Amino acid sequence: MNRIFQWIDERTGLSGPVRDFLNYPVPKYVHRNFLYTLGGMTLISFLIQVVTGILLAFYYDPSTEGAYNSVDYISYQLPLGWLVRGLHHYGSSAMVILVSLHMLRTYYFSAYKKPRELNWLTGVLLFFLVLSFGFTGYLLPWDQKGYWATKVGTEIAGSVPLIGGFLLRIMRGGANLGQATLTRFYAGHILLLPASVAVLIVAHIFQLRFHGMAPAITEKAKAQSKTFVPFFPHWAITDTAVGLGLLALLVFMTWANHAPLEFPADPTSNSYVPRPEWYFLFYFQLLKYFPGVLEPIATIVIPLFLFGSMVLLPFIDTGEERRPWHKPITTLVSIFYIIVIVVFTILAMAAYA
Amino acid sequence: MAAPKLPPLPAGKGVWDDHAISRRGFLEAILGVLAAIGALLVAVPGVRFLIGNSLESSATKWVELGKVADLPTAAVTQVNYSTRATDAWREVTQRGTVYVSSADGGATFTALDGTCTHLGCIVQWNEGEGNFICPCHSGRFTRAGEVISGPPPHRMRQLAVKVQNGTLLAEI
Amino acid sequence: MKRLLLVETLAITLAFVVAACGAPAAAPQGGGAAPAAKPNTLTAVKVDATTLDAAAPYWAQAPKLDVATVGAAPGKPDGPTVSIQAAYDGQYIVIRSEWADATNSLKDDTWTWDGKAFTQEGEQDFIGFIWPIGNNATFASKGCAATCHNTNADQEKWWMGSDSADVRYDGWFWMAARTNSVGYADDISWSVLSDPNDMGSPRVDDAVDSGGPVENTNGDKNNPAPIFMSGKDLKSPILLDADKVAFDAAKAKLATGDTVPGFVLSKPVGSLGDVEASGKWESGKWVVVQRRLLNTTHPDDGVLIPSKPTPFGFAVADASGNLDHKIAKDVLTLEWK
């Protein structure tokens, strides 16, 4: 075995970098804390999406004529098709949840402070790309749910003053939802977004490795910040175990409840009630409270504010203090946002039960 | 398999956790098992999924070639049939070429699949020579479909035929 | 900067409080737009083995879907409420329908003797199910309305079918006299109007190898008469092929008002006979059980796949035929448990 590695190393020079990567020292306080697995789990959920997505792409037909029937074929006629599609469906929700939890963990541990500001920004960008994945993927089955959710979603983009009309047409590939919409959403979903996310993930992990883990917050953790375990195998096992756990959970969820496929898109339907995927429900509900002239508050001000505050966070909160219980403002603001999102999601679900 | 010793950490950074290090070999083995399980869980269903229905043999069906009354009885006729078929997830019009001839003046018919048995090109009936010639590599078949010369490995495929309500059908 | 963050957050909170005053107004709108929980859904239950027995024990576990019917033609009154249940096993699906009908109507173009000549008259009771063949967006969204082409002021020019030859529907047409007597329902299909002069041309019987109903008529325009009668029971409204003998006026000894069946019946062999059926009329109520392979493999049939929700519709008629059949108003969905 060693001789094979030597042979490869003589020709690639890889053993040095690989060994450095594997021997990376992980502080003990990280090793003992489940919260630190969230980043890795987000990456694993992305990998699950990539693998299931590639498998699905062998059968998916991105034409308005064939899209629905090809997803129907995958779900009901292809061996294990229901499983692959189900993993992709539940995996996308898992990814949104995990990236949000990971972001919250990073936020509460103040891991965005100097010198990690750019890494936080990379993460914010990744967060929005994950949401874009969800938005573009939702349309692809071309069923009632995906069609109408995209119709409404692009209308919201279209309601932005000045550039709205332009935005809507670019997103739709025309004035209406049709073939051009489907193909560009598909190209974005399987080519542009994965490439962008992959590059950003590499940058994200590189910066993490470069800076190391953010300083410990609690006294107990600080006491463990001078003892290390190597990434391989100690942390890698943790990552692999939670990854397998995630996979098992997704398989169970799929087995218990196959990924839904509603009836084919009917653009002439006047009785269908559009709703977005669950992680956009809170925003969908929110729009109801800003009708008419107040609408720009919901379509521009609030999203800009949210995005802006996320981006500017490391430059606003520049103090040395990292402990959340000593940082009332950032802590309360985040709790406020969480409550708003949860409450509005519940309101939306009740409205469309 | 003894793991190579870990390089010492930079001065001032800290130390390796001895207790954790002592279990390294054991943990590597566990990791190997978990990774293998994970790989199998992904690879086996993945491969099955990719194979999908590609190995299923397609059912035969009867296609209409035309009214018996309309078919020439002496000459070899090229019939391009079309029929509704299911192509994966689509309903399509499936087309094909069949050569129809009769040796007994229209009492019975022979239907030959026009696909050359060499590499799949469609053969052409040559009236002058009185045989089929494949345009790709000049394989030649008799009127009955037997190989005369050229690369084709076996004779043209003969299709089962039947007449129903005055219409000739072939089983493809 | 931190203060700015705080101020902005408080401003947004204030905006929400202001908007929340509009919330009670917003909520009922949201509630009004909400669809009720799973209406119009027929849930098929999995059982070990399906049968044509209307009293089979598994029917107790099958949820009932009560469907109110309305007249298909304008101005016609509403029809009965039809109770449907469904069950399936590894190969078959069975559907049980129950509805109120005061009369057991078995006349089907029946010959009536008025003392001098025969006239053909009479409509039977029927129930017909319609299923889309393949994925059909319009039918899933609109139901039978998608198949109804009633844009002409003249009701004679109305027809039922699809808008293109690629779009087809599968029908199970159970008739009290013509098909129930031999234990099946006609398996038919609808496509596009192929003959502009024939409003019935979209509807086509499935392929049949042998058997099926045969018109019992001599085809004479001036003196129409039956050519067969029952050798077993002259009074029966049903004439089975196995019982038929040549019509003999002397043997029949018909009195005014006596009838001879309009069809000679036998069970078809082939796609037309895919749907087995058993219907019983008792005390003002029809109970009909129909059973078919989930996948008949015939190209003129729709495929039912357990776990895949499928839209469908149905119509019933009380001795009234096409002129006044009662339909399920909304599209129904078959789901699987």
Q: Write out pLDDT tens, residues A219-269.
A: 888 888 889 999 999 999 999 999 999 999 999 999 999 999 999 999 998
- Specify whether C59 is located in the same domain as C173: yes
**Nearest-by-CA chain C residue for B84:** C299
- pLDDT score of C19: 46
Least CB-CB distance to A297: which of C15, C26, C137? C15
Name every residue in C having a CB less than 8 A away from some CB of B.
134, 166, 297, 299
Within an 8 Å CB–CB cutoff, is residue C39 touching chain A?
no
Rounded-to-integer distance, Cα B128 and Cα C301, Å: 47
Rounded-to-integer distance, Cα A307 and Cα C149, Å: 52
Q: Which residue from A276, A261, A251 is spatially nearest to A351, judged by alpha carbons?
A: A276
Residues of chain B with pLDDT below 70 are 1-4
- Specify whether C23 is located in the same domain as C65: no
Q: Is the pLDDT of residue A72 over 70?
A: yes
- pLDDT score of C13: 58
Start-to-end Cα distance in chain C:
57
- Specify whether C54 is located in the same domain as C162: yes
Rounded-to-integer distance, Cα A206 and Cα A195, Å: 17
Torsion A332-A333-A334-A336 (CA) sign: positive
CA A256 vs CA A87, A251, C83, C164, C328: distances in Å: 12, 9, 29, 39, 32
- pLDDT score of C36: 33
Chain A environment of B33 (Cβ under 8 Å) = none
Is A251 contained in some domain? yes
Q: Which residue from C173, C260, C269, C174 is spatially nearest to C212, judged by alpha carbons?
A: C269
Least CB-CB distance to B37: which of A79, A236, A244? A244
User: Which residues, at least 6 apart from A221, have a Cβ–Cβ distance to it below 8 Å?
Assistant: A29, A33
Measure C232 CA to nearest chain A CA, in Å: 51
Chain B environment of A25 (Cβ under 8 Å) = 9, 13-14, 16
A198-B30-A30 Cα angle (round to 5): 60
Pairing of strands B167-171, B161-164: antiparallel
- Specify whether C57 is located in the same domain as C25: no
- Specify whether C20 is located in the same domain as C93: no
Q: Is the pLDDT of residue A270 over 70?
A: yes
Domain of A158, in residue numbers: 27-263
- pLDDT score of B4: 65
Measure A153 CA to nearest chain C CA, in Å: 18
CA C52 vs CA A71, B69, C55, C86, C295: distances in Å: 35, 46, 9, 12, 18
Q: Which residue from B136, B139, B65 is spatially nearest to B102, judged by alpha carbons?
A: B65
Q: Is the pLDDT of residue A88 over 80?
A: yes
- pLDDT score of B17: 87
Rounded-to-integer distance, Cα A209 and Cα C279, Å: 75
Chain A environment of C31 (Cβ under 8 Å) = 351
- pLDDT score of C219: 86
Rounded-to-integer distance, Cα B38 and Cα C290, Å: 47
CA A33, A36, A41, A47: dihedral to nearest 10 degrees?
A: -140
B90–A236 CB contact, under 8 Å: no
- pLDDT score of B19: 85
**Looking at domain B62-171, which of 1.10.287.110, 2.30.30.30, 2.102.10.10, 3.40.50.300 is its CATH number?**
2.102.10.10
- pLDDT score of C21: 44
Rounded-to-integer distance, Cα B37 and Cα A182, Å: 37
Instruction: With beta carbons less than 8 A apart as the criterion, state whether A73 and A59 touch.
Output: yes
Chain A environment of B38 (Cβ under 8 Å) = 240, 243-244, 247
B84–C134 CB contact, under 8 Å: no
**Nearest-by-CA chain C residue for A75:** C308
- pLDDT score of C3: 59
- Specify whether C70 is located in the same domain as C189: yes
- Specify whether C147 is located in the same domain as C252: yes
- Domains of chain B, by residue range, sit at 1-56, 62-171
Task: Count structural domains, chain A.
Answer: 1
Give the other-Cβ count within 10 Å of B3's Cβ: 13
Chain A environment of B20 (Cβ under 8 Å) = 28, 31, 229, 234
* DSSP letter assigned to residue A191: I
**Nearest-by-CA chain A residue for B10:** A25
> Based on the number of CB atoms within 10 Å of its own CB, is A290 exposed (0-12), middle (13-18) or buried (19 or more)?
buried
- pLDDT score of C30: 38
Q: Which tokens go with A321? A: 């203090």
Least CB-CB distance to C30: which of A315, A329, A351? A351
- Specify whether C73 is located in the same domain as C184: yes
B48–A80 CB contact, under 8 Å: yes
Is A50 contained in some domain? yes
> Based on the number of CB atoms within 10 Å of its own CB, is A285 exposed (0-12), middle (13-18) or buried (19 or more)?
buried
- pLDDT score of C28: 41
Tokens 């699906």 belong to C93
Instruction: With beta carbons less than 8 A apart as the criterion, state whether A41 and B36 touch.
Output: no
- pLDDT score of A300: 87
Rounded-to-integer distance, Cα B8 and Cα A65, Å: 62
For residue A138, the domain's CATH number is 1.20.810.10
- pLDDT score of C67: 95
- pLDDT score of C33: 33
- Specify whether C306 is located in the same domain as C272: yes
Is A295 contained in some domain? no
Domain of C21, in residue numbers: 2-33
Measure C207 CA to nearest chain B CA, in Å: 13
Q: Which residue from C312, C291, C271 is spatially nearest to C133, judged by alpha carbons?
A: C312
Q: Write out pLDDT tens, residues A168-222.
A: 999 999 999 999 999 999 999 999 999 999 999 999 999 999 999 999 888 888 8
Instruction: With beta carbons less than 8 A apart as the criterion, state whether A334 and A328 touch.
Output: no
Residues of chain C with pLDDT below 70 are 1-37
C299–B91 CB contact, under 8 Å: no
C134–B91 CB contact, under 8 Å: yes
